[in-house]
Amino acid sequence: MSVDVEMQAAPREDCHPLFRDAPAGVEFGKLRKRLLRNVRQALDDFAMVVPGGRWLVAVSGGKDSYGLLALLLDLRWRGLLPVELIACNLDQGQPGFPRHVLPDFLARLGVEHRIEYQDTYSVVTSKLPDSATYCSLCSRLRRGHLYRIAREEGCSTLVLGHHREDLLETFFMNLFHGGRLAAMAPKLVNDEGDLMVCRPLAYCAEADLARLAAALAVPIIPCDLCGSQDGLQRNAMKAWLAEIEARMPGRKDTMIRALAHVRPSHLLDRGLFDFAGLRAEWSADLPEAADRPTTIAGRQAGKS
């Protein structure tokens, strides 16, 4: 039975208010448990949590950021996330943006939040032609404001809602178009060196986050800027990955695991591996030495 058609439970008091009207069925329980497990794994793997810290959680109004906020609130309610959370929405001035939705939603749940208005929409659309991709400039402007807000709110960490598919799409876009092997970092320090940026959803599947948002009936706000453009490279990459997953289920999880198991000696980056320093070690006194030399490469990287 899908999450969408599960029987709704009566409101409960033994959970965070965001989950009180959630479905009561087994399928939702499995979904919630899986997502919480994925988030906790990312928090542990990349040492994201410093007890006593304060996190600014970026909430755009999309399914991913709602899922991020819900899962972090759930972990905090369970006593598994010893940090303070403040949700932040950056109202970028898109025409028709429903400004009341997020503050009403967050206030009703008792979630500490800040709504910031900055008309980056006009900046982006004035500097780029209609045929251009807005995402890069929009992202840079948005990130700069979020850094400022984090400092003003006394936060040590900015938390973003990028998920498994975002990381994979970025990796393949860099591979196909950028000529480099790079995905989104699950954890990084900003250029100024005073803020941490974390992505706790790095292991979470986009489809799971969509199901969570639907089950919690959060008020989704569509993006009318980058989300309104057709033919973006990321959209093409998303479709390509979806086709691979449909033909070979489980490939996305395999790809994510691959990003965590890199063998520099089997790539071509001379900055990561000292190819010039490799020397074969062999002795003419050993039997079959000329035929089967032992190499430093074999010891460093395993059998080729």
Question: pLDDT digit string (tens) for 267-282?
Answer: 999 999 999 999 888 7
Higher per-residue pLDDT: 60 or 144: 60
pLDDT digits (tens, 9 = 90+) for 124-151: 666 655 655 656 666 777 788 899 999 9
For the cut 80, the answer to whether the pLDDT of residue 184 exceeds it is yes
For the cut 50, the answer to whether the pLDDT of residue 54 exceeds it is yes
Amino acid 120 reads: T
pLDDT recorded at residue 298? 47
For the cut 90, the answer to whether the pLDDT of residue 152 exceeds it is yes
pLDDT recorded at residue 63? 95
Lowest mean pLDDT among 7-11, 158-162, 184-188: 7-11
Task: Name the most confidently modeled range: 1-10, 205-214, 220-229.
Answer: 205-214
pLDDT recorded at residue 229? 46
pLDDT recorded at residue 10? 46
Hey, is 55 helix, strand or coil?
A: strand
**56 closest CA partner among 143, 141, 149, 184:** 149
pLDDT recorded at residue 281? 81
- Parts of the chain belonging to CATH 3.40.50.620: 3-259
Average pLDDT, the chain: 85
State the pLDDT confidence band at 2, using cuts at 50, 70 and 90: very low
Both tokens assigned to 119: 């008309």
The maximal CA–CA distance of the chain, rounded, in angstroms, is: 82
Amino acid 46 reads: F
pLDDT digits (tens, 9 = 90+) for 79-110: 999 999 999 998 876 777 888 999 999 999 99
For the cut 90, the answer to whether the pLDDT of residue 4 exceeds it is no
Would strands 294-295 and 187-189 be described as parallel, antiparallel, or unpaired? unpaired
Residue with tokens 């400004």: 99
**171 closest CA partner among 241, 227, 229, 239:** 241
State the pLDDT confidence band at 176, using cuts at 50, 70 and 90: very high
Please tell me the CATH superfamily of domain 3-259, with its number.
Answer: HUPs (3.40.50.620)
**252 closest CA partner among 174, 184, 178, 163:** 163
Both tokens assigned to 217: 């009936």
Percent of the chain with pLDDT over 90: 65
Higher per-residue pLDDT: 148 or 230: 148
